[in-house]
Amino acid sequence: MNRNWVFGKSIPFPCMRVFWVCSSLAAQKWVSSFSPSKSLDWHALLFLFLVILCLNPSHSVDLNPQDGASLLAFKSSIQDPNKNLSSWIGSNCSDWTGIACENKTGRVVSIKLSDMNLSGQINPGLCNLSFLEHLILSQNNFSCSIPTCFGNLIRLRTVDLSGNRFQGVVPETLMKLENLEELVLVGNQYLKGPIPSWIGNFSTKLQKLDLGFNSFSGELPESLSNSTSLKYLDLRNNYLKGNVFDFQQPLVLLNLMSNRFSGTLPCFSACKQSLTVLNLANNSIFGGVPTCIASLRALVQLNLSSNHLTYKMSPRLLFSEQLLVLDLSNNDIYGPLPSRIVETIEKSGLVLLDLSHNRFSGGIPSKITELRSLQALFLSHNLLVGEIPARIGNLTYLQVIDLSYNFLSGSIPLNIVGCFQLLALILNNNNLSGEIQPELDALDSLKILDISNNMISGEVPLTLAGCKSLEIVDFSSNNLSGNLNDAITKWSNLRYLSLARNKFIGNLPSWLFAFEVIQLMDFSSNKFSGSIPDVNFNICSNFNSGDISRPSKDPFAAKKVVNFKVSTVVDVGSELRFNYDLSSAVGIDLSNNLLHGSIPEGLFSLEGLQYLNLSYNSLEGQLPGLENMQSVRALDLSHNYLSGEIPGNISILEDLTLLDLSYNCFSGLVSEKQGFKRFPGAFAGNPELCVESSGEGCRSTGYPTVPGKISDSESEGPISVWVFCLSAFVSFYLGTVSLLCSARARNYFLHTKA
């Protein structure tokens, strides 16, 4: 069937010829005749008329009545909530949405009904379309079995049922489709059973087989290893097992990731000049990376991550300049980092190198800084020592550097500002020292800056105000000092800020709650003094939003409050996309400082706040009502000098898991009706406070008011060991919860780590 396309519309060939001739005749007149002050002459008008005529031909193709009846039977058995098939009326085939007919006979040759929210059963009448060549029902909600009668459609060249909920097994009748070129069943999680043994030899024309994201099990059929026409094989995210074949045909793409394959890596010798994508990630493949893998000369992407690969990398493992992505992360490979990755570094197009989560040791080779096309470098979670290469700034295309969780020393090289496109600089958990260089303000695209858990000292430079794109900043667990300056106020997109466990001093600034999209701020374990600023808390949208997703009921989930994952994706055009996911509770931690004065009432009106920790300060005054904190999970005001009565009823705070008001100066009666019964021990160390207990009347907590002190003559009171441990594990932060529990002291420290 010969069809021509102009402006996305199909035009019969004779009309296309007229279109070309007319356009040639009129083109000369078009420029001279058309101007703002003159009307189109008759040549131009004729040209426009013929264009309109060709795009909307007067003749139409009449839909074959028998095929029309089959389509209407199909329509009658499905649900079409968006009325996409309401155009299926009349006899003009071009009016029927998603249907294409043969010009002369009107027989249906193509059905394309993608992403229309269709559901229901597929009527067997569809299988009467004997001239059908393309059947595409992808991205809908069909939940039936694949009809066995599809095997009767012997002219089919394409079957795409992806992104539905088809269930059961692949019907044996499909083996009759001898002309099939593409079979795409990806994304039907209820398709199960073994992959049919005939799948590789039923059609000598099959080029693409995509069965990914289903529930197929068993081993690979032998027929797949020698299907001569097969070029693209994608079986990712199933439950397949066994060894990986050394395929005998020249595959272009092989994706077997996220299965249960084991054994060692084959050489894929038949694919030396053809294979561009090899993805075996997230399986159980063991042994080393064979040097013969480097003989795959067309290879563009190689992903062997999350397996059980071990041994050293051979210096003879040198890839061609075609390689764009090399991911060997999450294995057990040891030894020094390879000094060379590709045969000719100067010609290398490598954009992503991920060797993280292995056991590489030694220093970072300087040759890495010669991979000029590199956009993402992941070397985290290894045993690397020495300094960051001074010439790292030569990698001017770098968007992500992650060297975290190693033993790197020295200072952050000033040359790193040469990576002016940098979006994420992640250097946490090393032995880095020195100061934050003022010149880092040149990284004005930076979104993530994590230098936590190092030995960096000095003050935060004012020049960092130039990093206006920052969203995640973690300076925690260093030796930083001085007052907070106004540079931080320029980070208007800030979502997460941690300055915990440093040596900062001075008053908390008035701009502390001026960030619109902040999710979590942690200033704990410093030497901040003065009072908590009483400002407009309504600026922070996350603190005030009551529509945030409800947290897990599991109290131990609170241990992992903050986590961000940086990922990069290389698309077909070899461009790298940077993504990160911030999984963070909404919280504030000002604990373990030298703060005094009263707590601003506005803090207790934040409907979106999940965590608030003001413990281990010298705060005083009365406690406002807690009823407005609708999302709060953990509230720790212990070890302060708060006084007065315990206000309000907290029974409506369904998500509250941890409440600690111990070691303050509260007084009066805590009624059982106030809903505090589920927090035994929350009021320990408030001797003037009586807690009503069922059947026992009012009981004094019996502890002195001096924070952290318990007299030798007093017992532990009503706090049982298991409740105390539960409270300790429910924390504000991802990190280590340290618990010291004795008859004389109850101190736990809440730490933050992203």
Tokens of 592: 């373990």
What's the confidence (pLDDT) of residue 100? Answer: 96
What is the DSSP annotation of 558-624?
Answer: GG--EEEEEEEEE-TTS-EEEEEEEEE--EEE--SSEEEEPPPGGGGG-TT--EEE--SSEEEEEPP
Answer whether residue 420 shows pLDDT above 90: yes
Cβ atoms of residues 431 and 409 within 8 Å:
yes
Answer whether residue 559 shows pLDDT above 80: no
What's the confidence (pLDDT) of residue 375? Answer: 92
- Mean pLDDT score, 477-484: 96
Choose between 647 and 460: higher pLDDT: 460
Residues with Cβ within 8 Å of residue 341, at least 6 apart in sequence: 318, 319, 323, 326, 348, 350, 353, 371
**pLDDT tens digits, 348-385:** 889 999 999 999 999 999 999 999 999 999 999 999 99
Choose between 721 and 507: higher pLDDT: 507
What's the confidence (pLDDT) of residue 675? Answer: 78
What's the confidence (pLDDT) of residue 539? Answer: 78
Could you tell me the pLDDT band of residue 541, with boundaries at 50, 70 and 90?
A: confident
What's the confidence (pLDDT) of residue 385? Answer: 98
What's the confidence (pLDDT) of residue 557? Answer: 37
Answer whether residue 647 shows pLDDT above 90: no
Cβ atoms of residues 327 and 303 within 8 Å:
yes
pTM of the entire predicted model? 0.82
**pLDDT tens digits, 592-612:** 999 999 999 989 888 889 999
Answer whether residue 59 shows pLDDT above 50: yes
**pLDDT tens digits, 152-188:** 999 999 999 999 999 999 999 999 999 999 999 999 9
Q: Where are the domains of the chain?
A: 262-432, 459-548+557-619, 629-695
Answer whether residue 520 shows pLDDT above 70: yes
- Mean pLDDT score, 121-131: 95
Place of tokens 């010291």: 740
Choose between 62 and 35: higher pLDDT: 62
- Mean pLDDT score, 729-743: 31
**Cα(697)–Cα(370) distance, integer angstroms:** 76
Can you point out the beta strands (E) in 182-281? 182-184, 190-194, 208-210, 215-219, 232-234, 239-243, 253-255, 260-262, 277-279
**Cα(65)–Cα(140) distance, integer angstroms:** 27
Percentage of the chain exceeding pLDDT 70:
80
What's the confidence (pLDDT) of residue 571? Answer: 58
The bridge status of strand 9-11 relative to strand 99-101 is: unpaired
What's the confidence (pLDDT) of residue 648? Answer: 77
**pLDDT tens digits, 202-243:** 999 999 999 999 999 999 999 999 899 999 999 999 999 999
What's the confidence (pLDDT) of residue 706? Answer: 45
Provide the H-helix boundaries in 61-170.
Answer: 65-76
Q: How far separated are the first and last CA of the chain, in Å rounded?
A: 59
